[in-house]
Structure 1
Amino acid sequence: MITSYHPDLTHEDLNRILSNRGETLAELSASAPVLMVFLRHLGCTFCRETLADLQRVRSDLESQGVIIALVHMSSDLAARTMFARYGLEDVPRFADRHRKLYRAFGLRRGTLGQIFGPVNWKRAFEAGVGSRHGVGKLQGNGFQMPGVFLIDQGTIVAGHAHLQVSDRPDYRKLIPIRA
């Protein structure tokens, strides 16, 4: 399910943090639309499922001129290592250990129900065991909710703030069809 979710971003928000390449979000989105994916902690099975999903749709997104960028709460080394497992080590990544970008995009800490609710237990088993994403060490805030936003020219044009940590948005549906 894709929700219409558009927080108001300021110029300061778009220039708040540099990517591993030394670019701000404002600079990155000036060159092409950016699918900004805010991850849960890297040990989370749903974070790993998200990375696998992005790996699967990456060529479709890039063929439409979309840049995938990842926001995480870990060290750059830990993120690069994890992203390499999914063939995503070369995408722009933003280390946000203090969650400033998460907050700027309106992504908050989840409730107990959003993190540990029954639907999440079922999905955790499916993702962690069934799809073999496993779980790992907590790196970052375990209550941080994820989300995804399409940003073009510094403006959010589509977005999804997860209602449950186990939400699995179809990233291609966030991208407008280009004529």
Structure 2
Amino acid sequence: MAQDLSVVGEQKIISLPAKEVVLLKDVWKDQKTLVVFFRRWGCMLCRLWAKEISEISPVLKSNGVRIVGVGVEEAGHQEFINGKFFDGELFYVQDRSTYQQLGFKRFNMITILASLLWKQSRDAISKGNSMGLGGDTKGDKVQVGGALLIDQDGKLLRNFIQTGPADHLPNEEILKHFGLESEYKAATMANQETDRVCTIDAKA
């Protein structure tokens, strides 16, 4: 299971675009790491989650948190890279059983279509459309993912498992587990103040 990082860490992943094969445990060796397991590169809901995480990437990276995105397959990755949805490193699993080891659910075509009608999914799709994130139908359509938050000593801080395709681990919770809420709030306030000053100067 995902809680036993020594087992799942032995699974092989492949870097994108370089196609270098490494062990999953290599991405969190001696470093705080956020590993996000996306369901499909062409999924608008995954692109939305990637964009949300990218909002906090400056604070995470400046505090030594490595940001890694993993896909269940290679299909559709180039469009994901070209769209610059995710401010982190990208990989895909060599064996899809990695997702099963992590406890990530597989729907079927009927249940995955039904899940897109949930309010959570409808709201996320509406937001994604408003942002122009787009999407495609390439690849595995029924797999969902999750995330692992790991401390620099290899301790699992959070094992997040999606209940549906639009289920995202909130940025606030990610920051909380890494003890960075206050830094993010301070940076956000500073940016808002900078924007306010620039607006005033532009009107002057």
Which TM-score bucket, shorter chain as reference? 0.7 to 0.9
The DSSP-based 3-state class of the residue aligned with 1:70 is strand
Which residue identity lines up with residue 22 of structure 2 in the other structure? E
Distance 1:125 1:132 in 2: 10
Is contact 1:25–1:154 with CA below 8 Å preserved after alignment? no
Question: Greater RCO between the two (CA within 8 Å, min separation 6)?
Answer: 1
Which of the two has greater helix per residue? 2
Structure 1 residues 107-127: Cα deviation after superposition (integer angstroms, max 9, x where no partner)? 111361673333255225313
The DSSP-based 3-state class of the residue aligned with 1:23 is strand
The DSSP-based 3-state class of the residue aligned with 1:148 is strand
The DSSP-based 3-state class of the residue aligned with 1:40 is coil
Q: CA 1:107 to 1:29, structure 2 compared with 1: closer, same or farther past 3 Å?
A: same
TM-align CA RMSD: 2.8
2:83 to 80, 85, 97: 85
Distance 1:87 1:122 in 2: 20
Q: Which residue number in structure 2 is paired with residue 107 of structure 1?
A: 104
Q: Which residue number in structure 2 is paired with residue 18 of structure 1?
A: 13
Matched, 1:41 2:36: no
Displacement of 1:151: 2.0
Displacement of 1:47: 0.9
Matched, 1:94 2:91: yes
Displacement of 1:73: 2.3
Displacement of 1:38: 0.6
Is contact 2:144–2:165 with CA below 8 Å preserved after alignment? yes
Q: CA 1:142 to 1:120, structure 2 compared with 1: closer, same or farther past 3 Å?
A: farther
Distance 1:61 1:49 in 2: 18
Q: Which shifted more, 23-32 or 61-70? A: 23-32
Is contact 1:127–1:134 with CA below 8 Å preserved after alignment? no
Displacement of 1:80: 4.6
Is contact 1:73–1:95 with CA below 8 Å preserved after alignment? yes
TM-score, normalized by length of structure 1?
0.79
Query: Unmatched 5+ residue regions in structure 2?
Result: 181-204
Q: Which residue number in structure 2 is paired with residue 3 of structure 1?
A: none
Query: Unmatched 5+ residue regions in structure 1?
Result: 1-5
Is contact 2:38–2:69 with CA below 8 Å preserved after alignment? yes
Runs (4+) of structure 1 exceeding 6 A deviation are: none
Displacement of 1:26: 1.8
TM-score, normalized by length of structure 2?
0.70
Matched, 1:59 2:58: yes
Displacement of 1:57: 1.4
Is contact 1:55–1:86 with CA below 8 Å preserved after alignment? no
Q: CA 1:84 to 1:134, structure 2 compared with 1: closer, same or farther past 3 Å?
A: closer
Q: Which shifted more, 24-33 or 45-54? A: 24-33
Displacement of 1:37: 0.2
Distance 1:18 1:163 in 2: 24
How many residue pairs get aligned? The number is 171
Is contact 1:48–1:133 with CA below 8 Å preserved after alignment? yes
